[in-house]
Each structure stands twice: as structure tokens, then as C-alpha cells.
Amino acid sequence: MKRGKSTYANQWVRLQELFPDFSSDQMEKLNRYADMLVEWNRRVHLISRADEQRVWTHHLLPSLIVLKLTELPAGGSLLDLGSGGGLPGLPLKMARPDLSVVLVESVRKKALFLKRVVEELGLTGIAVINERLEPGREARWGLGEKIDVVTARAVAEVNVLWELSVRLLRPGGALITWKGDQEENEFRQFQKQLSLSGEILAVPSRWHDFSPRFPHMRIFRLEKS
């Protein structure tokens, strides 16, 4: 099922409002990725079935909005934990081709989907690791303390994510995870407990109508000293 640009016409307009510097090639890649998510979701559980008609508002825009809220280092490295359908790692790679990206996904069928997207969209500087990330494996992959940014969306609690990320991050690197406003206290308590530098990023109200997830979505950022 090929949807084409017309199906997502409104979403394209909204994306261009948020990111006017995106090229037509970037826009087309994001559109093709949205198509593939829906097509593969019939065979592999990548997103909720209810979200098939709202891929942009519930998944792509929430992934990309982090670029408006914080800086990702130019030419830096990004590792996406429990990547699933590639969110947020794949949209971020399409938006920032300068990033070197690693997608970690333990479920074989989901990893196959990620590899297919990389192949069909001709993405370079991106790798897929089909393994469960556990403490100690980062050395085997040659990733220990080399990553600038670790991302995670709907994967695990902050303390678990930090335990997995801290061995991957270089000094000054950051864990960025997508959560809800009801988890702010948990984040602040964990941050205080370990005396970590960090912040809670909220989407400004002027962009709330772009996605129903924006008003209550929070992006937690923890930095490795």
C-alpha cells in the first residue's frame, strides 16, 4: 500500500512549519518511512494499530521535536536503545544526516524492519544491532564511553535507562528519554539521588496543536560528568 505525499499533505505542511530548513529529500525520506511503518505494522507490532492513521502526530513529530528543544552535537554519535520501529533514532537520522547512529533492538523481526528501512532509504552512517543491551556488552561492540547521545522512547524507567547508558556515554554525553509529565517527580528524585546534571524539557505551548502528545510530553535529559 503506497500512500504517497497527498495522504500526508497536512502533516507535510506542519513539518515544514516546524522545520523550514528540511530539504525535499529529507521530507520524502520521512514520508516513505511513515509508509513503511504502517505497511510492516500489519506483520510486526511496531506501533499501536490505532496510530496507523496518526503516525506523524503521535510518532514522527514527537521524535523530531527534540531538535527544537536541545542541541545534538554536530557530527556526533547517537545510540537509540530499544529502537522498536526506529523511534526516535530513524527520524533523527533523516533530519540530521551528520549524526552517526546505532539502533539497538533485541526483537529479530523489528531489527529486520530497521535494516530494511536503512537499505531502502539509502541511509549511511547508521547500524542496527540485533541484541539485548545489557551491562558489559558495550565493550564487545566497541561502544564503551564513545557515544555522545543515548535516546530511548517508551522503553524503561529512568534509573534502568541510566544504568544501561552510563557505560556507553563519553564524559559530557547525555541520555535523552521521552516521558510524560506525571513522571517528573520520579526523574527529579533520581537526579538528586545521584547528583546528576540534567533538565526537563517541555514543548512550548505555541506548538501544542501540532500533536496531541505535546502538552503532556516531557523529554528528560541527564548528563554524564
Could you confirm whether domain 4-223 is CATH 3.40.50.150?
yes
**pLDDT tens digits along 134-151:** 777 777 778 888 999 999
Q: Is the pLDDT of residue 159 over 70?
A: yes
User: 181 vs 63, 79, 97, 145, 211, CA distance in Å?
Assistant: 16, 24, 30, 30, 15
Rounded (5°) CA angle 80-84-86? 60
Higher pLDDT, 2 or 86: 86
Where exactly are the structural domains of the chain?
4-223
Residue tagged 506523524 (cell numbers): 56
**pLDDT tens digits along 91-126:** 999 999 999 999 999 999 999 999 999 999 999 999
Amino acid at 187: F
